[in-house]
Amino acid sequence: MGRACHFCGKKAESGCNVSHANNKTKRRFMANLQKVKVATPKGVRHVLSCTRCLRSGVTVA
């Protein structure tokens, strides 16, 4: 599994760095992912969650 939010699926996006001379080079915009503990029927496990899901309370079950 890649680095993506467990709840909403947010992951890295691609784009360009643009210099003052308008040179363009590829770059990645990484999602702000945090490790959180989530209670499941099998017990507690760690998952990656984006900060938007943390703030909205999606991780609380």
Asked, for residue 6, whether it belongs to a domain, the answer is no
User: How far from 36 is each of 18, 22, 48, 50, 53, CA to CA, in Å?
Assistant: 35, 40, 6, 10, 11
- Give the domain extent around 38: 13-56
Where residue 61 falls among pLDDT bands split at 50, 70, 90? low
Give the three-class secondary structure for 50: strand
Asked, for residue 4, whether it belongs to a domain, the answer is no
39 vs 21 pLDDT, higher one: 21
Mean pLDDT of 15-32: 97
pTM for this one? 0.79
Asked, for residue 52, whether it belongs to a domain, the answer is yes
Element (H, E) at 16: strand 13-18
Can you tell me the distance from the alpha carbon of 39 to that of 52, in angstroms, rounded to the nearest whole number?
19
Count of domains observed in the chain: 1
Asked, for residue 28, whether it belongs to a domain, the answer is yes
